[in-house]
Chains A and B, each alone.
Chain A
């Protein structure tokens, strides 16, 4: 069951990519929607969740009845931790002394309180710690690109060097491997992400903590586990039945316990810490332990969960402090806009966007140009690892709305393609001190060639210039029409300048922020044939769709 869930998670992960004629479906979101922490955080922060996210209520109900079976059986990060912890015990052997419950296990509850308090005041930092979002983000931005890098560049190195002994070429082995991975495993071009090294290190850290203690993350840190733990303090149906007559107090069950839930002799079972993994039952040589399902009324002694009033209040105060720290920046108060923070098309107004976004990286995974990159501090600490378009790396493909369609919390709205094409995410600016026809006396207009806007937002004007030796020549100098530019960034990606493009896109004029719109769009033609109004979406867009006013102020 555990392996099947992990396999399903990875299958869904691999499947989440562009496929011809296949709209992404909700299956990619199953784990997100099963996760009650994501439901709780997103609901508290934004008061809006997709209906499918209510699936998490099923998880909560199951937890009330049977304890933390989500942690023990479903959570893919839990399975990875379980596996690595098991490996550790295989290699090093089980410790001699039973591991005891540690007060540090309360850490996760305090972390949960901090996150929920912040969420209640509109800062959604759940996704930074949520195991599903964390695992997805780590796989997307670090693990998968690293794997693809190793296979592709390794085989390409052999391909280029072509070592051989007589007729036996090394490529006879490496090329089939390369093709197999390309055609059946990777299926999409390799991606690379800003700060991927840090994300890889953090993920590796979480996995390696299992060497300190099995399931270190789950025992001490996981806020989703903490939330489930609150609901699992007294499972209504599941009981750990101990027959003291058969028990020789050897402690093997406690040593093997994944959650430090004290299943053994002498202590009350700590249901809130138990993953219902059945390790204790299977390690007992005398069948002294059994999980049973019993009617809710028949109570058994179960250890309570005492977090301490003072510590709980402290955690809540910490959450408030974090809240103020996050909101202390001019950008968070919408008095300044970061030119580099170009959000994907359909992204909600920044506050609302951050309230919904769970930092999972799904949008970055599906972006066919690799242009969607994780932020570090561009959106403040509050918005760490949220998506931004970096046109120098990749552009927003005109005929593509995958990021919106795959976003599990609709932080990026699932706009229909025709509507998405009209959303402005930024504005191109020409740097005439570098642009080749302005600065270097020759033609280029690669930007004009690539511009996908109908009728082209970039147009070339034949301009006479005087060359160094005094000749008059005509060059085609590009200009940007703000009425047509949607900020997709292909001009910047394709500009021959690879270090700093001579045409660059900033977040100016983005549809979602009237406060960030310096150019009055639609009044280019002063004779009065304006098609678009100031601030909002194009006129023909209003009314028809459920997202007619996606950028209405909060």
Chain B
């Protein structure tokens, strides 16, 4: 015999009511029958925008992000009311946006707004940077953009990493940042860059910013380590910023000739689909494909992104 207290009654009725409300919302949608595609690639098709024209470039990044998210069913598909969301951009380097070392600040800010509009209670933005955090956060432009959009920008406290069981093939446990893991949704939001070993650093390598410890040792076995952290993080939504990409001297360069414009933002719920798309964008090198293959063998996604029929958008 169990008691059915007043508190139980209230929470249960609230849950049922919430569930009903959600069903109704789903039911009233005209697209309810159509499952949104698992991936979308938004590419700028308007007039070319000069690098120096930062305002137009910013509004392009906003449009690309918004429309790519729309095409996969909107942020509401991933964010529930009251959620705490962590956006994990590349914010590792003391480099301005023009040098393509960090995620485009306007892409990040747009994601913050979309999350808040979808009902997120709090949106946190943070990374475990390679350069000094205060410098990287500021110079990347992400700190200001994200704060403006309503996010909390979090500086990771290096003493607060905690050993967690990754139960990976290779890594049994590693130091992970608890505050990131405790959120309801982590949006993995890297920029597409060249890298000396892997030839491409994308969504999977972006997870190196949620771990601490002597993470640099991972470079000796990147495919295995990245597969283990990706499995642990259970990716739900990845956004790849390819407005600018870094084509050489990655993952950070101090010279503009290593930067190329692709004017593209791609979104997927399947991390490996997005990863393969990025690998192609960066020259489809075998070292990069190795990592994706390793993760695919572990069942973490579908690397054949074309099989997912991504929606390709020509944004103007």
Contact = CB atoms under 8 A, between A and B. Distances in A.
A45 B128 CA distance: 45
Contacts of B216: 444, 446, 494-496
B130 A450 contact: yes
B220 A443 contact: yes
Contact of B132 (A182, A368, A449): A368
Interface stretch (A99-107, A125-133, A375-383, A392-400): A392-400
Given A152-B157, A189-B134, A496-B219, A399 B197 contact: no
Interface string A200-229: 000000000000000000000000000000
Contact of B135 (A399, A454, A476): A399
Contacts of A421: 254
Interface stretch (A23-31, A153-161, A283-291, A298-306): A153-161
B249 A156 contact: no
Nearest to B251: A449
Nearest to B138: A20
A369 interface: yes
Nearest to B137: A20
Given A368-B134, A454-B254, A456-B249, A496 B217 contact: yes
Interface string B116-152: 0000000000000011111100110001100000000
B159 interface: yes
B88 interface: no
Contacts of B130: 450, 494
A452 interface: yes
Contacts of B138: 20-21
Pick from A449, A494, A496, A498 the residue with the most CB of B within 10 Å.
A449
B160 A444 contact: no
B160 A400 contact: no
A526 B221 CA distance: 38
Majority secondary structure of chain A interface residues (helix, strand, loop or mixed): loop
A450 B216 CA distance: 11
Nearest to B249: A456
Interface string B63-94: 00000000000000000000000000000001
A397 B132 CA distance: 7
Nearest to A444: B219
Pick from B160, B249, B252 the residue with the most CB of A within 10 Å.
B249
Interface in B220-256: 220-221, 249-255
B290 to A, nearest CB: 12
Contacts of A397: 94, 131-132, 135
B170 interface: no
A117 interface: no
A167 to B, nearest CB: 13
A153 B158 CA distance: 11
Interface in A493-523: 494-496, 498
Given A189-B134, A476-B197, A452 B159 contact: no
A449 B196 contact: yes
Contacts of B311: none
B219 A498 contact: no
Q: Bin chain A's interface residue count.
A: 35 or more
B176 to A, nearest CB: 13
A445 B201 CA distance: 14
B219 A443 contact: yes
B214 interface: yes
Given A20-B138, A188-B134, A399-B135, A445 B160 contact: no
Contacts, number: 91
B220 A436 contact: yes
B196 A460 contact: yes
Contact of A449 (B155, B195, B214, B217): B195
A259 B195 CA distance: 66
A445 B159 contact: no
A450 B144 CA distance: 24
A450 B143 CA distance: 22
A6 interface: no
A442 interface: yes
Contacts of B158: 189
B134 A454 contact: no
B155 A448 contact: no
Contacts of A188: 134
Contact of A400 (B94, B162, B217, B250): B94
Pick from B94, B196, B217 the residue with the most CB of A within 10 Å.
B196
Interface in A334-373: 368-369
B95 interface: yes
A510 B304 CA distance: 51
Nearest to B92: A450
Nearest to A445: B196
Contacts of A495: 216
Nearest to A421: B254
A166 interface: no
Nearest to A443: B197
A498 B214 contact: yes
Given A399-B94, A476-B196, A455 B249 contact: yes
A445 B219 contact: yes
A153 B252 CA distance: 33
A199 B197 CA distance: 44
Contacts of B221: 442
Interface of A: 18, 20-21, 152-153, 156, 159-160, 182, 188-189, 368-369, 397-400, 421, 436, 442-446, 448-450, 452-456, 460, 476, 490, 494-496, 498
Given A400-B135, A496-B220, 19 more contacts: A20-B134, A153-B159, A156-B159, A159-B160, A160-B160, A160-B162, A189-B132, A368-B135, A397-B131, A399-B95, A400-B94, A400-B132, A443-B220, A446-B219, A449-B197, A453-B254, A455-B249, A456-B253, A496-B219
5 contacts: A152-B157, A182-B155, A189-B134, A446-B216, A449-B197
